[in-house]
Amino acid sequence: MLSSRLFPRLALLSVCLIAIVPFASRFHYVPLPQWWGEINVVWLTVLAAVLLLPGQPALFGRVPRAAWWALLAALCWGLQPWLAPVLFPGMNWATALAWACMALLACVVLALREHFGQRELTVWLAWALLAGALLQSLIGMAQLTGLAEATGGMLFYDHAHPTSNIFGHIGQRNQFAHYLMWGVLAGCYLYAAGKLPARWLWGLVAWLALLLAWAGSRTILLYLLALSVLALIWHWRIGDTASRRLRNVLWISCIVILAAQFLLPWVNQLVSLLSHESVGGASGLERLAANGDSMGSRRFAEMHKAWLVFRSHPLWGVGWSQFAAESVRLQPLPPFAAAGFNSGLFTNAHNLVLQLLAEMGGLVTLLVLGGFVWAVWPYFRERAELEHVLPLGGMTVTLIHSLLEYPLWYLYFLAVLVIFVALAPGPGARLPRLARLPLWLGVAALGWLSLTGLTRYDELLGLYTPLANAKANETRVARLAEIVETEPLFAFHALNTLDNYLQPTREQLPQKRRWLTRLAAFRPYPDVLLKKAQLEALAGDEGAAEATLGSALASFPTYAPSFLSELDPREPAWAGLRRITEAARQKLPPQYR
């Protein structure tokens, strides 16, 4: 039958598109900037599952270790609101649903591997990663040359740094470099497997090496070292011609990428001469040598804070996604006074293990990390194969990045990681036919929730910006308040949107204070803390107002001039806040005043 041949191919295509489409989304709209990319992962996963429904390969016939690991994680996140004082349990449940989707994706990957074989599935995935990397590199080149700005918004770019912040459509330079490294690894595997000619490979590697240099990610240097060691070990385990080819080509690729880091200043001059445009940008190596952005010290400070939070909440953690408030609470302490003038709200500790310890506690962290090791262990226990290098190398890049930043907090990065884990050798646990029906009901529920979420997402986007009509804004505030109280999955995002409508005035003062207090307890952004302090001062609670403002100035010191402009000198209640802010401004280095 045509369907028995066509549907598995379409399911395979859907899985491969997970490695391309979500990363290429140009839609990054607040209050849910990653929503489109992440929901594409869900839709493509559900589509692949539905395409496998007619027959062979049989989905859920066997369940891989990766799926059991993801289901365990879903259970941990789903149960935490009953074990710890979580402010927005819907954030836990949304994450639990994401993990459930990852379990489904792992089952789809195993079914496709049984149908197509390890080699064909890995080759398809490698082509997808390489195609995605090339697409991102073209977007990155458009950002570098200013073409992205000239397209009138068709391409995603940084308005403040239109030609020096190179991040593709992923939105962050280190994640962009992470993704391009997957592409390099995929190209090397395809060459070793005899699927990509050498002349094409070296052209692609040289091109991606330049874009990796322009991205300016310092983490690349760790990737190169780790991938070189992996290639050596896997050739030692396999010991055939193909593994030697892969080792050699991966080593040479790493040398090319490293050379591009050194050669970038001369390349910038050449491109500027040819394009008659000023092309700049420092490589990761240059940024590492300069070490002038204070981010290193701030990262270590946040890691230290995460460890302190874990020690205070060792069993169940402080609550999922609640590290941000702890970071602000701990910032005034002496150990963090010299952590650098980076005035962004750090919602993440920039270390996967410490973040899990702080927010989920020791037990869940042990289960999640132990489950991951159990899921990938067959790579090291079973006979080594050439096809293992792509998933293991991809996981190596992701795990290194996760120890310094937070790629796995985005579902599309997690999805590709789960695909890598699901490719581990082993047949998976056999599942009785009767046990498969609840899983198919789960697939239907996941698809239904993702489609209904589209309606709410569109509504929140439409409500984000206040109107000039005061009466219409009152209606919008009432609707947002209703979502906060009745729809847990979107409660925080609705409250975050509601903040746009809350002005520091005496009208509805008690209600505004309740909303700002709730938001500040979860996401104490600078403007949230300032408005909270202003409202507290208007209510006559001067002690609370000064404490709130002091916390804001400790965590976001460079905001002092902005705060001062927001504190109207004609309002007597804010006189004390102005004195505190002016004193903080005077203590800043001259460039921040």
pLDDT digits (tens, 9 = 90+) for 398-434: 999 999 999 999 999 999 999 999 999 998 888 888 7
Which has more confidence, 434 or 366?
366
Question: Which strand (E) or helix (H) includes residue 44?
Answer: helix 35-51
Per-residue CA distances from 204 to 165, 215, 242, 462 (Å): 22, 16, 20, 42
Residue 42 in this model has a pLDDT that exceeds 90:
yes
Whether 423 and 121 have beta carbons less than 8 Å apart is answered as yes
Q: What is the pLDDT of residue 437?
A: 83
pTM of the predicted structure, to 2 decimals: 0.94
Burial of 322 (0-12, 13-18, 19+ CB in 10 A): buried
- DSSP three-state, residue 237: helix
Which ranges of 410-488 would DSSP assign to H, the alpha helix? 411-422, 436-463, 470-486
Amino acid at 68: W
Give the C-alpha separation, 253 to 206, whole Å: 8
Residue 291 in this model has a pLDDT that exceeds 70:
no
Whether 109 and 400 have beta carbons less than 8 Å apart is answered as no
- Mean pLDDT, rounded, for 111-124: 96
pLDDT digits (tens, 9 = 90+) for 234-286: 999 999 999 999 999 999 999 999 999 988 888 877 777 766 566 667 776 77
Q: Mark 324-352 as b/e (b = at least 16 C-beta within 10 Å).
A: bbbbbbbbeeeebeebbebbebbbbbbbb
- DSSP three-state, residue 90: helix
Lowest average pLDDT, out of 214-218, 288-292, 307-311, 321-325, goes to 288-292
Q: What is the pLDDT of residue 63?
A: 94
Give the C-alpha separation, 118 to 232, whole Å: 22
Cβ atoms within 10 Å of 225's Cβ, excluding its own: 13
Q: Measured over all CA atoms, what is the biggest interatomic distance in the chain, rounded to whole angstroms?
A: 80
The structural domains of the chain, with segments of one domain joined by +, span 2-62+87-277+382-431, 294-381, 475-592
Q: What sign for the dihedral angle of Cα 466, 467, 469, 475?
A: negative
Cβ atoms within 10 Å of 254's Cβ, excluding its own: 23
- Mean pLDDT, rounded, for 544-552: 93
Give the C-alpha separation, 107 to 125, whole Å: 16
Whether 231 and 156 have beta carbons less than 8 Å apart is answered as no
Number of H helices, E strands in the chain: 25, 2
Give the C-alpha separation, 363 to 368, whole Å: 9
- DSSP three-state, residue 31: coil
- DSSP three-state, residue 249: helix
Whether 518 and 495 have beta carbons less than 8 Å apart is answered as yes
Confidence bin at 212 (pLDDT 50/70/90): very high
Q: What is the pLDDT of residue 290?
A: 66
Give the C-alpha separation, 166 to 176, whole Å: 8
Phi first, then psi: give them for residue 457, nearest 5 degrees. -60, -50
Give the C-alpha separation, 370 to 509, whole Å: 49
Phi first, then psi: give them for residue 48, nearest 5 degrees. -60, -40
Q: What sign for the dihedral angle of Cα 407, 128, 439, 369?
A: negative
pLDDT digits (tens, 9 = 90+) for 309-363: 999 999 999 999 999 999 999 988 888 876 656 667 888 999 999 999 999 999 9
Phi first, then psi: give them for residue 63, nearest 5 degrees. -115, 120
Residues 6+ apart with CB under 8 A from 69: 368, 371, 372, 374, 375, 421
